[in-house]
């Protein structure tokens, strides 16, 4: 089925460890996004890539880096994990622009930092 | 950011009843979208309404938009247990901003 695939689904890290969350979409969308979701706070945008070759900071970029590897893939890296980064991470994709029809979300990565 | 804020935070209704939730936003928009999130899952796009539209329907969903009041409402008619989920509005553009959502519980 077409959609957004995120790996891994669950991860436990120790403080200071690094990891990369992977995201791939097969809908030929131009734009891709990383959000985090914390209880009672909705979704907050971490980074986005409006098109292949570009990345920009969102609302909460500190402690994260991203790579738009190609049109399909957009990865999120935590260089030195902190307990405050315990969250559920969602990747999404969409067509570019103001008339974007809607986002397609992955099923999420549940990350716990101890 | 053009953040949508949903109201109420939580809603509990009996199966078969209608559920209404509201969204307010701060600045001018080009479109507003509603999403559903089932527990432990990703968000699913439900409906998009453009700024020049006042009402839109999709199955049992009805969305209204009042740009003068900077608000939107989502009505779910004849609710079912499967409608139990969190509902989010999101405003505009190539980087959507989401509110904290309305959690809807449909009791059998």
What pLDDT digit, counting tens, does each position of A33-87 carry? Answer: 999 999 877 889 999 998 899 999 998 999 999 999 999 999 999 999 999 999 9
Report the percentage of chain A scoring pLDDT > 90.
Answer: 79
Q: Tell me, yes or no, if A93 comes closer than 8 A to chain B by beta carbon.
A: no
Q: Tell me, yes or no, if B94 comes closer than 8 A to chain A by beta carbon.
A: yes
CA A20, A37, B47, B53: dihedral to nearest 10 degrees?
-110
Task: Give the minimum alpha-carbon distance from B14 to chain A in angstroms, rounded to a whole number.
Answer: 24
- The pLDDT value recorded for residue A39 is 81
Q: Which of A45, A98, A105 shows the shortest C-beta gap to B43?
A: A105
Ramachandran sector of residue A79 (left: φ over 0; alpha: ψ -120 to 50; beta: rest): alpha
The answer to whether B42 contacts A4, with C-beta atoms less than 8 Å apart, is: yes
Instruction: Name the residue among B70, B76, B82, B75 with its Cα closest to residue B27.
Output: B70
Report the C-alpha gap between B103 and B51 in whole angstroms.
26
The CA distances from residue A10 to A13, A29, A45, B13, in Å, are 10, 25, 20, 33
B40: how many CB neighbours lie within 10 A of its CB?
9
Report the C-alpha gap between B27 and B4 in whole angstroms.
10
Q: Is the model's pLDDT at A9 over the cut of 60?
A: yes
Mean pLDDT of A21-36: 94
Q: Tell me, yes or no, if A40 comes closer than 8 A to chain B by beta carbon.
A: yes
The answer to whether A105 contacts B42, with C-beta atoms less than 8 Å apart, is: yes
The answer to whether B93 contacts A40, with C-beta atoms less than 8 Å apart, is: no
Instruction: Name the residue among A44, A51, A35 with its Cα closest to residue A96.
Output: A51
> CB under 8 Å, gap of 24 or more: what pairs does A69-72 form?
A71/A28, A71/A30, A72/A24, A72/A25, A72/A26
- The pLDDT value recorded for residue A1 is 62
Residue of A nearest to B96 (CA): A45
- The pLDDT value recorded for residue B44 is 94
Residue of B nearest to A90 (CA): B42
Element (H, E) at B50: strand B43-50
Q: Which residues pair with B35 in a beta bridge?
A: B45, B88
- The pLDDT value recorded for residue B93 is 55
- The pLDDT value recorded for residue B2 is 47
Q: Is the model's pLDDT at A98 over the cut of 60?
A: no
Report the C-alpha gap between B88 and B22 in whole angstroms.
10
- The pLDDT value recorded for residue A96 is 62
Residue of B nearest to A46 (CA): B95
Pairing state between β B102-107 and B10-14: parallel
Instruction: Name the residue among B49, B88, B82 with its Cα closest to residue B66.
Output: B49
Both structure tokens of A14: 């120790």
- The pLDDT value recorded for residue B1 is 46
A103: how many CB neighbours lie within 10 A of its CB?
27
Q: What residues in chain B have per-residue pLDDT under 50?
A: 1-2
């Amino acid at each position: 089925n077409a959609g957004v695939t995120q790996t891994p689904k669950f991860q436990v890290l120790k403080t200071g460890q690094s990891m990369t969350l992977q995201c791939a979409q097969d809908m030929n969308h131009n734009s891709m996004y990383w959000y985090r979701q914390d209880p009672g706070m909705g979704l907050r945008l971490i980074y986005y890539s409006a098109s292949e070759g570009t990345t920009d900071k969102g609302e909460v970029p500190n402690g994260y880096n991203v790579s738009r590897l190609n049109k399909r893939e957009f990865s999120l890296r935590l260089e030195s994990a902190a307990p405050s980064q315990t969250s559920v991470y969602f990747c999404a994709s969409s067509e570019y622009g103001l008339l974007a029809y809607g986002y397609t979300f992955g099923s999420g990565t549940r990350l716990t930092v101890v | 950011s053009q953040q949508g804020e949903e109201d109420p935070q939580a809603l509990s209704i009996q199966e078969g009843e209608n559920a209404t939730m509201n969204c307010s936003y701060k600045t001018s928009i080009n479109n507003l979208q509603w999403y559903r999130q089932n527990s432990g899952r990703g968000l699913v796009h439900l409906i998009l309404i453009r700024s020049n539209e006042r009402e839109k329907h999709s199955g049992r969903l009805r969305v209204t938009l009042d740009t003068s009041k900077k608000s939107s409402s989502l009505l779910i008619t004849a609710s079912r247990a499967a409608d139990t989920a969190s509902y989010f509005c999101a405003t505009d553009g190539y980087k959507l901003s989401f509110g904290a959502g309305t959690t809807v519980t449909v009791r059998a």
